[in-house]
Structure 1
Amino acid sequence: MSRYRGPRLRVVRRLGDLPGLTRKSPRRSYPPGQHGQARRKRSEYAIRLEEKQKLRYNYGVTEKQLLRYVRKARRATGSTGQALLELLEMRLDNTVFRLGMAGTIPGARQLVNHGHVMVNGREVNIASYQCRPGDVIMVKDNERSRRLVEKNLEYPGLANLPSHLEFDKKTFTGKVNGMIEREWVALQINELLVVEFYSRKA
Structure 2
Amino acid sequence: MNDAHAHEAHGRRLRCAWPGDNALLCAYHDGEWGVPEYDGRALWEKLMLDGFQAGLSWLTILRKRPAFREVFAGFEPDVVARFDERDVERLLADARIVRSRSKIEAVIGNARAWLAMESSGEAFAPFVWSFVGGEPVCGDGVHVPTATPVSAELSKALKQRGFKYVGPTIVYAWMQAVGMVNDHAEHCFRRDEVTREARPLR
TM-score, with length taken from structure 1: 0.34
More helix by percentage: 2
TM-score, with length taken from structure 2: 0.34
**Higher normalized contact order (CA 8 Å, seq sep 6+, divided by chain length):** 2
